[in-house]
Amino acid sequence: MNPVDRPDVNTADHRTNPAPTVPYAVWAPNAQDVDLLLLNETPGARHGGQDRWAGATPHAMEPAGGGWWVPSQALLDLYAPGGPQEGQNPGYGYCLDGEGPYPDPRSRWQPDTVHGPSRRVDLDAIERSERARQPWGGRPLQGAVVYELHLGTFTEAGTLDAAVERLPHLVELGITHVELLPVNTFGGDHNWGYDGVGWFAVDASYGGPEAYLRFVDACHAAGLAVLQDVVYNHLGPSGNYLPQFGPYQYAGGTDWGDALNLDGPGSDEVRRYILDNVRMWLEDYGVDGLRLDAVHALADTRAVHLLEEIAALADQLSAEQGRPLTVVAESDLNDPIMFTPRPEGGRGAAGGYGLSGQWSDDLHHALHVALTGETDGYYADFEPLSALAKVLNQGFFHDGTYSSFRNRHHGRPLADDTPAHALVVFAQNHDQIGNRAAGDRLSQSLSEGRLAAAAALLFAGPFTPMLFMGEEWAASTPWAFFTAHREPELGVAVTEGRRREFSRMGWDLEAVPDPQDHATFEAATLDWNEVGEGRHARILQLHRDLARLRAEFPELTDPDLRTTFATVDESARHVRLDRGLPARSGLDAEAAPGQSGTVVLLVALGDQPLQIPEELSGYRLLAGHHDDGPVTSHGEGGSAPRQVPAPGFVLLAR
């Protein structure tokens, strides 16, 4: 059934129209006539065929106010309990003023491609396992270790059910939150998901809505929270029929296509469309949070921003369900407004949006430059190693400073009371790998010691660490951008667009794989045979050890960023990170606190070995790694060796 509209934090008139509670209801405010098309056979029987709508019977819809249309009561009675068509679930779509057919904008199931008939899904009627019906208390963002994965390349089968088989690996690794790249339906056989359409439908290639429920149930049974990546800033070019139904978009507005109409005429229902989608994931599917794609591309001039409404809805559902619900934004703005609390009760002076947190590219950029020496494009400002220290100490590098890549000043400082876990950080993610010319991972160019150092800075650092699938074992497989558009002109446009984008970074355009080449997709699929071999096995064990230590030592998940202090030695390329210090007076304090933390990370990113400072001689070794493998303790009581080869690290505790 279509998502049900329920009262929420915003009870304005546009939220009270009950039309979406009616089966087959559709919003088409500009249409004079709307016909509901019902098919005589199950959708999917002609997958990929040109006659997927053949035999559809039109039924006139009735206006229900506010631009909504509903079927006649006589038609609804046919499918109601006791009716002659009870239990049947025909494929359906719409014709608007004689144009069409079009699938349902709120379709839960598109088994015959994004261009084919829709199908209703009653999630409540799906048989669930006994364990799935047990209470699930959820997991908070504080203390989390996030694992980002793309279903199509995580396993050879590329399905939700196949991903379930790999959950024991994630549990043993120490993961707490599994973050899925977008799963809504898209054009073609495979796709990253960020140019998808049909926001309410789980793509058929992944297994559809029933498989998604099984995946969430299996994660919860294993103690894993599920975060779903969603895209509310634009839609893909293939199968986007929203403009035929109403003013969902306006021309331009984003680098990827037309923007969503969040503040213009008709935008009340567009916002309800998005908020109903948020509710679907958090309530109907039971996921534990959302990652919002590129929120800096949301153009919203309303007094109450869409992000504030999303956060308020998530908080409301969290209170109703008795479990934490997390909403994290991808934002290029370096603006703490994302996770600054909302005004009390939504009234009074302006506050923040009240999200749980945001992705932070600054840590990635500083770490990437420190590891690789690359300084092209947006990496230029992060060349000095002191940039890494600033990010570790203050959260943002650009906090009102000049950005040479943007040719302007950028960002705002964090407040002293900002919880450190509000920033989700990474050494690699789908963007930072896939948006490289060849889609190459750090494992394809860095030594074992530098890979280990990157992992240590993530897990021992103050923020929420996130791994990209395969990173935990230094996977050798690249992960380049791939598409499978059936429309030839789209394929050409994507290929040419990628080349233009890479030219700004100064990368070799000849190294850019063709996104439309099936081999590009196949090469991105993880090779699980690597896991137990050589350095892959050693790096995997290191990640397991670091995740375990992060869970054992409260200093490593302390939300007070002021209890962390990082210093660097530029000439030696060494980094020192003290955790568990008395809180500094402010995040902008430049002087070292004059004492050692209860947990200390020493990292050598260059070629000069680490000399353990005298004041740390009594500390014991928790973990360590360099190019030749793990660092072993020295003498009695697990004490640290006096010197560690570079590149590498040691993690010590009092």
Annotated binding site for substrate: 291-296, 361-365, 430-435
Find the catalytic residue in 104, 203, 229, 330.
330
Instruction: Say how far residue 124 (Cα) sits from the centre of its chain.
Output: 26
Residue 484 has φ and ψ, to the nearest 5°, of: -145, 50
293 is catalytic: yes
Dist. CA 119–CA 37, nearest whole Å: 12
From residue 185, give the alpha-carbon distance in Å to each of 76, 151, 236, 244: 27, 13, 10, 18
Q: Report the relative pairing of strands 423-425 and 620-626 from DSSP bridges.
A: unpaired
Distance CA 651, CA 46 (A): 59
Q: Where does residue 617 rank: exposed (0-12), middle (13-18), buried (19+ CB within 10 A)?
A: exposed
- State the DSSP string of 535-583: HHHHHHHHHHHHHHHHHH-GGGG-SBGGGEEEEEETTTTEEEEEESPPP
Tokens of 247: 């003013």
Between strands 99-102 and 146-149, the pairing is unpaired
Cβ atoms < 10 Å from Cβ of 65: 10
Q: Three-state SS for 394?
A: helix
Name the 3-class secondary structure at 226: strand
Report DSSP letters for 459-511, one per residue: HHSSSEEEEETTGGGT-----------SSHHHHHHHHHHHHHHHHTTT--GGG
Q: At what angle do helices 361-372 and 448-460 cross, to 10 degrees?
A: 150
Q: Which of 258, 284, 288, 293 is catalytic?
A: 293
The total number of residues shown for the chain amounts to 654
Quick one: 360 exposed, middle or buried, by C-beta within 10 A (0-12, 13-18, 19+)? Answer: buried
CA distance 249 to 233: 10
Distance separating the N- and C-terminal Cα atoms of the chain: 58
Count of Cβ atoms closer than 10 Å to residue 498 Cβ: 20
Cα dist. 147→173, 177, 210, 228, 282 in Å? Answer: 10, 6, 23, 11, 19
Tokens 């020496």 correspond to 373
Q: What CA–CA distance (Å, rounded) separates 79 from 85?
A: 5
Give SS3 for 193: coil
Cα(448)–Cα(573) distance, rounded to whole angstroms? 17
**Token pair recorded at residue 411:** 């960002």
The answer to whether residues 175 and 147 touch, using CB atoms and an 8 Å cutoff, is: yes
Detail the residues annotated as belonging to a binding site: 291-296, 361-365, 430-435
Classify 346 as helix, strand or coil. Answer: helix
Helices (H), 72-166: 73-79, 151-154, 160-164
Whether 166 and 581 have beta carbons less than 8 Å apart is answered as: no
Q: Let me know if 330 is a catalytic residue.
A: yes
Hey, which residues are catalytic here? Answer: 293, 330
